[in-house]
A = this chain, B = another copy of it.
Amino acid sequence: MSGRYTLFTINISRLREDFFDLSQIGKVGESGVNRPAFSIAHLEARSWFRKRIEQAGLEFRQDEAGNTSGFLRCGPPGAPTLLLGSHLDSVPTGGRFDGALGVLAGLEALRRIHEESLTLPFHLEVIDFSDEEGSLVNFFGSFALVGLLEPEHLENPRGGRDKLSEGLQRAGLNPEAVLDARRDPASLAGYLELHIEQGSQLITAGMKVGVVSSITGLSFYRLIFLGRADHAGTAPVQTRKDAGVGASYFNVSLRELIVERYPDCVANVGIANFEPGAFNIVPEKAVLSLEFRSAELSRFQSLKSEVLKLAEDAAARFGLRLVVEFLGEKEPLVMNQKMQGVVEKAAEVLGLPAAEIVSRAGHDAQAMAAFCPTGMIFVPSEGGISHSPNEFTQWEDCVNGANVMLNSVLLLAENS
């Protein structure tokens, strides 16, 4: 590497200690963590993060949306800030790598640059975004930071209003002030995120590093099928308006649609609830969570209209009424070319085989991409498993990812 900045590498044992310490917080079983946004375990992880930031001599910050960060003033006066990060929250009973690895690699990059007393053309900030997993409001923290969070997201959050209020209160956040977390795009030099792939493209291709070229678009809905409560013994099945059957029919048809006509896309019904919810009452109401994803805008749009049509048809077939609650959406987004270039170059410098990759999972980088130059680095996920305690990434790959992150920052500084 022939620039003003020498090729640095991270402090492996320090990263390892951080990783194992953090994995203990909200630990479930041998290898899982349960840290939904603003839960007690999540807030404990944040306290731990604050302590590490302060121990490293960085400046601790927290904004109105609860995003926590460590700031390193390593640029000239008035310089913009390059954000590095990911999230410390998890899905309910998720894995140790998803989100956590990106935050720890960002922290380690800042520490190394601070230790070497480097002056860069920008300041650095390692950020932990609030509720990336959307237990309460999807991409709560990054949406707030880029100004995409709307009052209606807070009024009808997908985790329910009571849970959101409780969470904000537990985190000591003022619901009135959340939208003030918005930043000025001119204040940012860019955003760079390291994350596990959560799929098996890299391992299948024998690659160690993924240079993310685009992130899949995704939509969230709540579908409410409304029928009629009846006595399950006396009302003939033929004449029932069984909301549960209509919702079930939709779920089965949705799978068929994807398998048969949209194999490049995915969809999921992760939550189902029948009401009133008794053995001997025909369900009057069935509530489903729905999300679907596509990496291409035109496919995304046609999938959306077909999925909603499918729900309408399922309701009509069983004499039900359908209420569609739109909860949020992010269109497919391409990553910044320059960011892709520095990540690719960093991998090359480190001798790691890298490939372009489409992210099929959503990330905070998606919220950031329309706001400032954004890039993402992927490392392999064993078996492509994630959102599960069985999620696993080889330690060597974690180290590689953190080194690519650190050197991407240096290359970006060199080319600024």
Residues of A within 8 A of B (CB): 91-93, 133-135, 138, 158, 197-199, 216, 218, 220, 228-238, 242, 244-245, 247-249, 251-252, 255, 258-259, 263, 266-274, 276-284, 286, 289, 291, 293, 360-362, 381, 384-388
Contact = CB atoms under 8 A, between A and B. Distances in A.
Contacts of A138: 279
A353 to B, nearest CB: 21
Contacts of A242: 255, 268
Specify which of A229, A231, A238 lies most central, judged by the most chain B CB atoms within 10 Å of its CB.
Answer: A231
Contacts of A237: 255, 258-259, 263, 266-267
Copies of this chain, how many?
2
A279 B293 CA distance: 12
Contact of A234 (B245, B276, B281, B384): B384
Contact of A220 (B199, B231, B279, B283): B279
Contacts of A384: 234-235
A271 B278 contact: yes
Specify which of A220, A276, A291, A361 lies most central, judged by the most chain B CB atoms within 10 Å of its CB.
Answer: A276
Specify which of A248, A267, A271, A280 lies most central, judged by the most chain B CB atoms within 10 Å of its CB.
Answer: A280
Contacts of A271: 274, 277-279
Contacts of A236: 263, 266
Given A248-B248, A251-B245, A255-B237, A92 B277 contact: yes
A232 B266 contact: yes
Nearest to A284: B388
A270 B232 contact: yes
Contact of A386 (B234, B273, B386, B388): B234
A270 B282 contact: yes
Given A270-B283, A278-B91, A280-B134, A387 B258 contact: no
A133 B280 contact: yes
B387 A232 contact: yes
Given A92-B281, A248-B252, A279-B289, 9 more contacts: A229-B388, A230-B385, A232-B291, A234-B266, A234-B386, A245-B252, A245-B269, A270-B274, A271-B278
Contacts of A134: 279-280
A8 B279 CA distance: 40
A123 to B, nearest CB: 32
A93 B198 contact: no
Nearest to A361: B233
A153 to B, nearest CB: 14
A384 B282 CA distance: 14
10 contacts: A232-B267, A232-B270, A232-B291, A234-B266, A238-B259, A245-B251, A270-B278, A270-B279, A271-B279, A280-B362
Specify which of A233, A274, A284 lies most central, judged by the most chain B CB atoms within 10 Å of its CB.
Answer: A233
B91 A281 contact: yes
A161 to B, nearest CB: 16
A363 to B, nearest CB: 10
Contacts of A276: 91-93
A164 to B, nearest CB: 15
A220 B233 CA distance: 12
B92 A361 contact: no
A268 B291 contact: no
Contacts of A278: 91-92, 133, 135, 270-271, 289, 387
Nearest 3 pairs of A and B residues by beta carbon? A232-B268, A248-B248, A199-B234
Specify which of A263, A270, A279 lies most central, judged by the most chain B CB atoms within 10 Å of its CB.
Answer: A279
Contacts of A282: 268, 270, 387
